[in-house]
Amino acid sequence: MNVVNPATGETVETYETDDEADVVTALDHAESTFESWRKRPQRDREELLVSAAEILRERQSEYAELITREMGKPITQAESEIEKCAWVCEHYAEYASTYLEDEYHPSPAGTEVKTSYEPLGPIFAVMPWNFPFWQVFRFAAPNLVAGNVGLLKHASSVPGCALAIEEVFRDAGFPENAFQTLLVSSDLVEDVIDDDRVKATTLTGSGPAGSAVAAASGERIKKSVLELGGSDPFVVLDDADLETTIEKGVRARNQNSGQSCIAAKRFIVHDDVYDEFVSGLVEGAASLTVGDPTDPETDVGPQASAELLAELHDQVERSVAAGATVETGGEPLDRDGAFYPPTVLTDVPDDSPAARDELFGPVAAVFRVDDESEAMARANDTRFGLGGSVWTTDRERGERLAHEIEAGCVYVNRVVGSDPRVPFGGVGVSGFGRELSEAGIKEFVNRKTIWVQ
């Protein structure tokens, strides 16, 4: 696997891939490790997660630089990603026992009936490049502390991150094979799913990849969780606090250089505040610093590869050809690296890519609506259903409309995020199942009913 720095276009590292024999060996190790790991006291597993959090903080700069080198994330955002991984480890270290506590049920006199939450075994995770540490840790922390073991097939562009994550768990004191990285191509994914030792699968990534993993898992009667793409609505009502809403809107679209499933992508704005909001959004987007991701002053780094930049620009060009107006940005920067500027599109036609597809980069599509009814219709005019947000000074109005948006999570007056304390996941083509919180740790356990007469 060749690692290409997207800020320079240069190959910076090469990794030798695993072959089929390596995969078989890893599965053997996973199966044998699970038999002992599942018997470890819950508190022992929790203490090891605390150790993992400590290692992440000790090596925050090292791992942040690795993220930036492999996929181009601005360095301050990469540092925040490592901190968030430490947080999710600490969260499950504190709450796993509560989440997995036996649940007792009404039963006849003299009997005891309960549900016990027991681990399944080796869980296979297929993960993407855009949050190369966080999206792995939000899978790994709850599953390891629940007594499962993990096998990771990471994106081929971030093999260094994949191996570093394995290193964190090993150095924290987890059994050597409790969490293993497989440096394999996508061609071997179905073979891993097909193996009887793998008990469940999870994927964060594109719709086609999710469909393939779900189909392979379903054919083998294996549980799967999918977190796929999104085209999140950012609904701005006529009574919104525009100064705050514009500031948050600029961040919601351009964080991680726009490469986030839960980024705000479709800005749906009430006519009464449309002109002022668009003016502020354009000004804010144009003021962001695009450049060297290792510079702490950089707001927007490169797209993760030249190929991804080309795909994004093609979507913009086709949207403009269909009738959209470019208010700022809209052309790749004339410099080395895969740099695309923050872009704002207005007058976006309903049948254009900016309205129908997921634009995975710093491109905001803005739509004008006359009232909240039209805003809700526009918000739900998508096959995606990951997240959304509503911006209003009337909290009751915001909550009422949050119930109308068809998505896995809706935030009122806050940018959509994934937080260890609350369930995260989507509906429709954005996937199924939940990660994080109590719901996430219970996705891959045997909910065993035990009746004692």
* Residue 72: CA count within 13 A, CB half-sphere: 32
DSSP track, 202-238: EEES-HHHHHHHHHHHHHTT-EEEEE----EEEEE-T
The three-state secondary structure class of 201 is strand
Contact call for residues 410 and 389 (beta carbons, < 8 A): yes
And the tokens for 286?
């144009």
227 is catalytic: yes
* DSSP 8-state secondary structure symbol assigned to residue 290: B
**How far, in Å, CA of 379 to CA of 388, rounded?**
8
**How far, in Å, CA of 353 to CA of 366, rounded?**
13
Residue identified by tokens 């704005």 is: 269
Q: How far is CA 233 from CA 252, 254, 391, 402, 415, in A?
A: 11, 14, 11, 11, 11
89 is catalytic: no
Inter-residue long-range contacts of 342-346, CB under 8 Å, 24+ positions, other chains counted: 342/250, 342/253, 342/254, 342/258, 342/285, 342/286, 342/288, 342/290, 342/300, 343/285, 343/316, 344/278, 344/281, 344/282, 344/285, 345/316, 345/319, 345/320, 346/278
And the tokens for 11?
């190959």
**How far, in Å, CA of 138 to CA of 143, rounded?**
9
**How far, in Å, CA of 410 to CA of 401, rounded?**
9
Closest CA to 152 of 172, 177, 174, 182: 182
And the tokens for 37?
């790991």
And the tokens for 314?
């093609």
Cα torsion for 171, 174, 177, 178, to the nearest 10°?
-130
The three-state secondary structure class of 406 is coil
Residue of 70, 261, 409, 435 marked catalytic: 261
Amino acid, single-letter form, for residue 78? A
Amino acid, single-letter form, for residue 427? V
Residue of 70, 227, 358, 435 marked catalytic: 227
Question: Both ends of the chain: CA-CA distance in Å?
Answer: 58
The three-state secondary structure class of 418 is coil
Contact call for residues 64 and 78 (beta carbons, < 8 A): yes
Which residue numbers are catalytic? 227, 261
